[in-house]
Structure 1
Amino acid sequence: MADRVCVGAIAGAFGVRGEVRLKSFCAEPADIASYGPLTTEDGARSFEVTLTRPVTSGFAARLSGVPTKEAADALRGTRLYAPREALPGLPDDEFYHADLLGLTALDTGGKTLGKVAAVLNHGAGDILELRGPGLKGSVLVPFTRAVVPTVDLASGRVIIDPPEGLLD
């Protein structure tokens, strides 16, 4: 999966002529159609994407090989992946969510807190979900420079300076 990044998901059929409702996870939502053929998570299917119009929470789109409403409905919930080399490079202080998953989280004293299990965004900014044996369940950490001052992809770790009481 390191060579592919999830860029969108199919929310179901749109209309009766084989179009799908497509949710884009890209910073520029319309860019989802410019990353070449998109593949399913298992790589078994590949689709050329043609956006037809914006709709609520995404786009109506045509996917190659999806001619009917029934075929579009069958793809509901399918995540679409683009090859990493097709995606634009990022500035030093930006990261693809896929790159953060699995990183070891350490506190500023070097103590292992757990691993990044998910990157969430509910509208107010990114949040890292940490899981580990020393934590009581999952811990949600704001992904800000103040709380996560260091992201070291080469070493596979993030340094977290948690606000007081966050890990208690």
Structure 2
Amino acid sequence: MTDKVCVGAIAGAFGVRGEVRLKSFCSQPQDIAGYGPLTTEDGTRSFTVKLTRPVKNGMGARLSGISTREDAEALRGTTLWAPRDALPSLPDDEFYHADLIGLEVFDTGGQTLGRVRAIFDHGAGDILEVAGRELLLLPFTREIVPTVDLKAGRIIADPPGSDE
């Protein structure tokens, strides 16, 4: 597990007084402002976020230290990270995507299938992309993925068609 989690990204400037268009990756988009100062991925910059208004495809926000349109535009594409301990804890059967990326995936017979490379959600539920000898896309359901062991750093999966 990492000590920080990506919670949003800056999509560009909004207006002429340093506001940014902010995309939140939180389940409740407005929660992004409540995780304390957010940092850039490399940790070199830190911002306090104050949401200002809803905007198309995101939210308007003021970031501490950003006062001009040029400053805001220069941050386009910057991801914002929160300390992991600032995020709420999850029930036993829910996971942050950041915790699943990189976990080794085994089938129910103990054979290595690969590692989780990405997680996609196209509206019908999460799909794990597992890169190994071949690329697998696994629905992230209890039937297909019966075991996630974060402490051991592994997932047990029963891919569709594996019992044929």
Does TM, normalized by the shorter one, top 0.5?
A: yes
Question: Match of 1:142?
Answer: 139
Question: Match of 2:112?
Answer: 112
Q: Spell out structure 1 runs of 4+ moving beyond 6 A.
A: none
Task: Give % identity.
Answer: 71
Q: Which one-letter code corresponds to 1:149 in the other structure?
A: P
TM-superposition CA deviations, 1:18-45 (whole Å, max 9, x none): 1001011111110000000000000000
1:37-48 matches, within 5 Å, as 37-48=37-48
Q: Which one-letter code corresponds to 1:143 in the other structure?
A: F
Measure the CA separation in 1 of the matches of 2:117 and 2:125: 17
1:69-148 matches, within 5 Å, as 69-132=69-132, 134-135=133-134, 138-148=135-145
Q: How many residues align?
A: 162
Measure the CA separation in 1 of the matches of 2:13 and 2:123: 26
TM-superposition CA deviations, 1:48-88 (whole Å, max 9, x none): 00000112221100000111111111111111000011110
Where does structure 2 lack aligned partners over 5 or more consecutive residues? none
Where does structure 1 lack aligned partners over 5 or more consecutive residues? none
Aligned-pair Cα RMSD in Å: 1.2
Shift of residue 16, structure 1, vs aligned partner:
1.3
Matched, 1:25 2:25: yes
Q: Which one-letter code corresponds to 2:71 in the other structure?
A: A
TM-superposition CA deviations, 1:139-161 (whole Å, max 9, x none): 21111111111100011001111
Shift of residue 127, structure 1, vs aligned partner:
1.1
Pick from 145, 151, 155: which aligns with 1:154?
A: 151
Question: Match of 1:49?
Answer: 49
Measure the CA separation in 1 of the matches of 2:20 and 2:122: 24
